[in-house]
Structure 1
């Protein structure tokens, strides 16, 4: 059979993501700090974009209940003068609603205003060095050692290297270090955990040979190998329990009590507050929304002075198109976040009313199907976004947990609620009745939670709760130390 060439015509449909669509998708998953940086770059590139006044920014709000969906002002740009994302009517409506539930955004003080200015560790050390009778050389050494002090209070520096760089004896550096180790807080300038505990015990006049042996065997203490510790320290069980109680009273990181750097705070993207008429009032935090507008007047003036069809006019039209796209994308981002948040509030109403025990199992697909969005869109929206509720600030992803079956045939329980119950059960156990994981399984079944023992073990370990054997020893230690 001879091969032949032929021409065929075929019609085929395909979906191709445009660069602007890709950028819009990327905007959804940006945290508010990253979003502001992105908008700042756009403001630098586009002469038609301007920052709006605080009362002109894009906003969104909703009073959410079983019959109300969130609405956010749509952007417009076919008007004379500056145009912004968010219509004036919606801005006025938002202000009216917020006045009935909370203060206006402009009157809300920043969280940093309530943070007291505290002394840092290095300030505390520098003040003590200034008050110590050092020679000029010793003061120089003390300053260099203090410069290498970590925020935890530990010193990570090679004394021989420091002595070599100053062309002095290592013994001189060690003598200054010994003085610094007597500073407040006790245990500061230690190079190891053992040395940190030793310094504190010496200041309490409790560093005897038995205690020295205990500090030298911290690895055995971490493994709770009490039998070996009794032999190494040469003490009986009662003396060892008393020594362990003294060790527990020490501070392994003495520098942590001081503030290091500026206070960090989470700025929520969404506020959820009880509505006076019942249900929940939901709104976006205006501080997290970039306030951008288009100066149509400037565009009209420049267009009038620019020849039609010129490169300048083409550049101007491109800037206007890019600015319109940015405002539409920011507006759509705000609407989508508010829509997802409102559905989360509707699904987790029990949590907001009664606490973690009433947190329902929830998946991204459930929310996506309810608000007619793709599951990947919901995933992007819930990344790095936070919600302020009457029960605290939570990441949106916190509300999505896998279901745990009910032993009584009712609704399933969320994994987070089960973890909370396990923690509560362990917190209530008595020293004489420490529960094993199997016992916890039985207690959970009594409350309607059907969970396997290995699941209880996994959740317990994830919460850094020791086993029943270790808890029994710790409770006994706590009782003997009283």
Structure 2
């Protein structure tokens, strides 16, 4: 058997992920706070990058990034350039979007925040501690207990361990804790839910033996076992009904009414507004686009001074290339977000007109094929991005839902729309007509939604809706 040695030449293509390509892909999925933080870090490292001021765009020394142009949007007649040309082509493909030049600037959403700083729970408690006639030792104990107070109003601390650490008696710590539990809001400094409810009931003078038995059996209340609760509390149906209504007026997390810090806002990346001529106006939120400029004059001056130093010149060239890359990447990111958002609006225009019942099933592949992108790119673009619509603010991923087949051979139904239908059906129930999961599935099939009982059960449980038996029991008790 002879062995043959030969030389073969084969050609193949492969994608090489350069560091800049990896960074560009990462930019797509960054939320606005992360994006601004990334840009600030790049500006700190790169002497040729600057954040634009209001009048920087008119300066001849600086090159603006088109991704940071506050006028960028879905427009057909705002000027020339590749960004405008590509966007205009998108709009021409969808005739229902009208020229946005007819929309007055005042019609755009005002996103300025004017919220005043609010008092935190710890500020509220600290003021009450200062006004309470504590001894120096008690004030020290109160300060330590306040440090352990959670934003919900609860406290989780070992009193014996705290007493040893402060070199005081455990009875002293318990006495101070009892005083703190009288503070506003009612229920704070509780160690358990039962204690939180007990504190509030005692302040209302409603903590009688029957109510104490109810608070001690909250697990039965969670399971809606009202018959067992009546036996434990030794009351009749009218009394248990009054007690349950009383419990419902209490606050299980009294600290939540106070801000734990600065308010959190969801700032939309894309605006979708009705156009006067019909259709929709789609724009990028200019506040979400970092306005980055390249100072070319400074680069030219420094390059001239370091022309004879190859190492310095190489460093400057690298900085300038990185600056140019950031400008291009931000520009591409803005165009990609606008492109994806435009296709989502085109696919879900009926939802924008008529509400959640008309949300269409949609997947990443449908959008990716329509705009000639890869699914992974669409997935990154829709992560942590929000769209402001006449129906509210939605994450872009909200518009992608599973399809449920039609039992009548028509269009498939969105899973989110089906969940909405289930919730609406249950909300409209009466004591005489409480639907089981099988009955809900049958009613949905009559409307053209081909759905199994187990799917109804899964959606109902995901919405934290109790079973038909529990719902019927609650309605009988008037809850």
TM-score by length of 1: 0.87
Q: Indicate conservation of the 8 Å contact 1:71/1:335, yes or no.
A: no
Match of 1:61 in 2: 73
Paired with 2:447 and 2:27, the residues of 1 have a C-alpha distance of 44
Match of 1:247 in 2: 247
Match of 1:130 in 2: 130
Q: Indicate conservation of the 8 Å contact 2:117/2:262, yes or no.
A: no
Match of 1:381 in 2: 381
Deviation at 1:74, TM superposition (A): 4.4
Paired with 1:2 and 1:308, the residues of 2 have a C-alpha distance of 63
Match of 2:314 in 1: 314
Q: Does 1:359 align with 2:371?
A: no
Match of 2:209 in 1: 209
Q: Does 1:292 align with 2:304?
A: no
Q: Indicate conservation of the 8 Å contact 2:73/2:284, yes or no.
A: yes
Paired with 1:11 and 1:136, the residues of 2 have a C-alpha distance of 83
| Residues 421/307 of structure 1: CA separation in 2 closer, same or farther (3 Å cut) | same
Deviations 1:229-259 (A, max 9, x none): 3332223333333322222222211111222
Q: Does 1:441 align with 2:441?
A: yes
1:27-106 → structure 2 map (5 Å cutoff): 27-54=27-54, 56=57, 57-59=68-70, 60-63=72-75, 74=82, 100-103=103-106
Q: Indicate conservation of the 8 Å contact 2:29/2:380, yes or no.
A: yes
Deviations 1:162-215 (A, max 9, x none): 222222221122122222222222222111111111122222222222222222
Match of 1:117 in 2: 117
Deviations 1:404-426 (A, max 9, x none): 11222211111111111111111
Match of 2:168 in 1: 168
SS in 2 for 1:478: coil
Paired with 2:210 and 2:293, the residues of 1 have a C-alpha distance of 73
Deviation at 1:70, TM superposition (A): 12
Paired with 1:229 and 1:212, the residues of 2 have a C-alpha distance of 12
Match of 2:197 in 1: 197
Q: Indicate conservation of the 8 Å contact 1:62/1:69, yes or no.
A: no
Which consecutive unaligned segments of at least 5 residues does structure 1 have?
A: 76-85, 87-95
| Residues 127/22 of structure 1: CA separation in 2 closer, same or farther (3 Å cut) | closer
Which consecutive unaligned segments of at least 5 residues does structure 2 have?
A: 58-67, 88-98
Paired with 1:98 and 1:132, the residues of 2 have a C-alpha distance of 63
Deviation at 1:299, TM superposition (A): 2.2
RMSD: 2.7
Moved more, 246-255 or 328-337: 246-255
Match of 2:8 in 1: 8
| Residues 319/116 of structure 1: CA separation in 2 closer, same or farther (3 Å cut) | closer
Match of 1:90 in 2: none
Deviation at 1:270, TM superposition (A): 0.7
SS in 1 for 2:74: strand
Deviation at 1:144, TM superposition (A): 2.1
TM-score by length of 2: 0.88
Deviations 1:10-66 (A, max 9, x none): 333333233322222221111121112222222222222222224643352104xxx
1:335-350 → structure 2 map (5 Å cutoff): 335-350=335-350
Moved more, 449-458 or 301-310: 301-310
Deviation at 1:351, TM superposition (A): 0.9
Q: Indicate conservation of the 8 Å contact 1:101/1:275, yes or no.
A: no
Paired with 1:9 and 1:309, the residues of 2 have a C-alpha distance of 44
Paired with 1:156 and 1:257, the residues of 2 have a C-alpha distance of 19
Q: Indicate conservation of the 8 Å contact 2:77/2:101, yes or no.
A: no
Deviation at 1:478, TM superposition (A): 2.7
Deviations 1:377-407 (A, max 9, x none): 1111111111111111111000011111122
Q: Indicate conservation of the 8 Å contact 2:102/2:276, yes or no.
A: no
Q: Indicate conservation of the 8 Å contact 2:48/2:298, yes or no.
A: yes
| Residues 276/142 of structure 1: CA separation in 2 closer, same or farther (3 Å cut) | same
| Residues 432/373 of structure 1: CA separation in 2 closer, same or farther (3 Å cut) | same
Q: Does 1:271 align with 2:261?
A: no
